[in-house]
Each structure stands twice: as structure tokens, then as C-alpha cells.
Amino acid sequence: MKKIFYATLLTAGIAATGLTGCSSKKLEANKIPDAALGLSVRADGTLLLKGKPYRAVGVNYFNAFSRTLEPGAWNDTSYRKGFRYLKARSIPFVRFMCSGFWPVNFKLYQNNKDQYFKNLDAFVKAAEELEIGLIPSLFWNHSTIPDLLGEPVGQWGNKDSKTNAFMRQYVQEVVTRYKNSPAIWGWEFGNELNLVTDLPGDDANLPQIAVEVGTPPTRSKADKLSTQDLQVALTEFGKAVRLYDTNRIIVSGNANPRPSAYHLHTVKNWDKDSQEQYAEMLAIQNPGPVNTISIHHYPDNALAYFADFPASLKEIIRVTMEDAVKLKKPLFIGEFGAQEQILGTGVANKNYTELLDGIETYKVPLAAMWVFDYPPHDAENGINAGPDNGPREYMLQAIKELNERTWQSNN
């Protein structure tokens, strides 16, 4: 979600080498056929699960894993309660942060890998047991890995940088460890990388400085990203994943292109893009081996698009679905939701209903509500739903009903 996470101090991480208690030889001997694992994409762009066309709505369970990495919380298995809660509501998968948000949040990974992996192994095993699909987002905060390694953030655009070398190592560790798990549905790069590209000004629109959590004390234009940098980062990520997993979907984690993305990319101004320019940026920002189209869709998108006609929340879904079909890449609305604290309960409910209606009407293959069981977003913007938040149970019930209608129509 936009404009939220820079102020949130979280401990997170991703996995590395071998599944709990299993040797690599044993895993290979019991290897499940690739087509039976996770989500994949047919040549015509159809999303598949276990070889059959698939559509579903899940949730963002943002800190389900990262909460287990906080000091004193290594034995936290509260996500099991969350998984059971989702299972009872016909919600089949979660997108979650599977990396440290700030450099400081990599301490457990750096200092005690055994414990780090033990926590992630337990998380994946719980998802397997409860048959919950997982879409891990590996590099959520775009500045964290360069900051961790002492490089400018712009080094994502250098395929030979230390940043990209670390990315490849991380991908190898995670993908080889869990590639035989039926819980893993796909692999995502990070969160909304496209929103920090092509922003104007040498000294403006720079990544946040927060020295206490591991950022450098100063920033410069070398910390900014261009569309070309984004394409390098996502292409190298996709190539790295494909070395170890030839089947599962690869997701950018991008939001919708900014309403001015094409103009920022080409002429460095904030003029609003046309519908055609929006389509062009969707393709550019989800390049090559990234075989899905990712957007994040919220009420503030209404009337932000397009220069040639004002589009409602539902119409933006229609337009984006049409573009994704042309590109033969299934659409993943990786975040959607409506903030009661900002919009008011009545308007938020109306917007939420419109978003779900658009997802159902235009047969979006995959979408995930923001956010499940993340209490900081109760008071902040009123968008959290979960076991301890009864007033927003309607959000989960609406997903349950949509999923059940979708599955009935598929059978």
C-alpha cells in the first residue's frame, strides 16, 4: 500500500537452504511434478493452478512471518490462528513480506541463520498443513538491500552490482529451499518499485533517511531509480528465479503505473497519461520474465486515470484486464481495499463493494485484499480485518462469497 511502510519498523526476512528435516536427496526423490506446484501461466496468458484455469481472491497477511523474528517472539505461531480463520472463510492464499524491511531487520538472518530458517520453515509447514497458498514478496522495501551493502539505491540498475549479487544469492536460498512445497504459489520481487521510478529532481523524492534502522545519513541522486533501473532489477530477479523454478508465476509487486508514469518516463513532467500510455507503461514496468501484470488498487485511483476519459474504480479494472489479456500476462491485483478511517465507513463499504464487483465482473484471475491481521492499520486508516476486528468481518465474508461463486462457476 502507498505511503505507509517507511514509518513502520519491522523485523522480517527470507529463507535460504533446505526444508526442515529433509535432505536435498530426499526432496529430489519425492519431487512433485512442476505442473502440480503453485500458479503458472499458459501460453495464452491464462492463470493455472495444478494445470487448470484458476481465479481467486486472497489477502495480504503482511507481517504474518516477520512478527516471528522480533526479539522474544521466535516462538510466535499466531499465524496458525490466522490461517485457520482464512481457511474457514474460503480464502485460499496470502501475500506476505518475506524479507527485512530495514537493514537492521536482517540481523537474525545475518547472525543466526539456523533460527531464521527454523521460523520460516515452521511458517511454510503451517501453510502446507492448512492448505493455504503463499506468495512471498522477497525485497519489500526497495532501498534495504543497497543500504545493507553500502551501495546507492540506484545500483538495482547495475546487473553486476553487489545489490544484484545479494539478490541472486537470496533467491537461490529461498527458491531452492521451498520449490517443492505445495504451499508456494509464486514469487514476487517487492512492493511498488514502480512508484519510486523516474521521479524528478536531483535532491527531491529521495528514499527516506532513518539512521537508527540502518539507512545512510545522507542521500543523493545516485539513490534514485529510473524505468531502466526497474527493468534491470525485475529482469535479473526473474532470470534468477527461473534458474531454480521453471513453473511458478513471477510477480513485480508493482502498483498501478502512476497517472503520469509515461510523462515522467519520457519528458519528466506530471502531465496525466492517456489510456494508451497507461497500457504502454504496464508492459514496460512488468518486463520479460515477469509473467504477470501487478497493480495495487485503492479508492484514490478513481478519477486519477486517464487524460482522455475519467475512469471509475471498476472501469480501471476493466481497462487493466484488457491490457493484461493483450500482453498474455494474467492480472494480479496484489492489493485492494478501502480505508474506513479516511473515507468514512459508508463510503469505504461502497468503494470496497465496487472493487470486488469489478474483480468479479471482469474475471480478474488473482487479487488480494489489504490487509489481514495487521493491527497498526486499525487506528492509522481503518483497513485491517482479522480475528480480533469484528466490525470489518464483512470484508472477509464478501471475499468468501465471491470465491465460492467463482469456484462453483468453474466446476
Per-residue confidence of the chain (411 residues) as pLDDT tens digits?
A: 643 333 333 323 323 333 433 333 444 445 556 667 899 999 999 999 999 999 999 999 999 999 998 888 889 999 999 999 999 999 999 999 998 799 998 888 889 989 988 999 999 999 999 999 999 999 999 999 999 999 999 999 999 999 999 999 999 999 999 999 999 999 999 999 999 999 999 999 999 999 999 999 999 999 999 999 999 999 999 999 999 999 999 999 999 999 999 999 999 999 999 999 999 999 999 999 999 999 999 999 998 999 999 999 999 999 999 999 999 999 999 999 999 999 999 999 999 999 999 999 999 999 999 999 999 998 878 999 988 878 899 999 999 999 999 987 765
Q: Indicate the burial class of 142 (C-beta count within 10 angstroms; 0-12, 13-18, 19 or more).
A: buried
* Gyration radius of the chain's alpha carbons: 20
CA distances from 246 to 49, 175, 238, 252 (A): 14, 11, 10, 17
| Bridge partners, residue 56, by sequence | 366
CA distances from 166 to 216, 342, 352, 366 (A): 18, 39, 39, 30
Domains annotated on the chain, with CATH: 5-22+48-410 (3.20.20.80)
- The overall average pLDDT reported for the chain is 91
From CA 273, how far away is CA 28, in angstroms rounded? 49
Contacts of 295 (CB under 8 A, 6+ apart): 254, 255, 256, 282, 320, 331, 332, 333, 334
Contact in structure between 96 and 11 (CB atoms under 8 Å): no
Q: What is the pLDDT of residues 350-395, one digit of tens each?
A: 999 999 999 999 999 999 999 999 999 988 789 999 888 788 999 9
Distance from CA of residue 43 to its chain's centroid?
Answer: 23
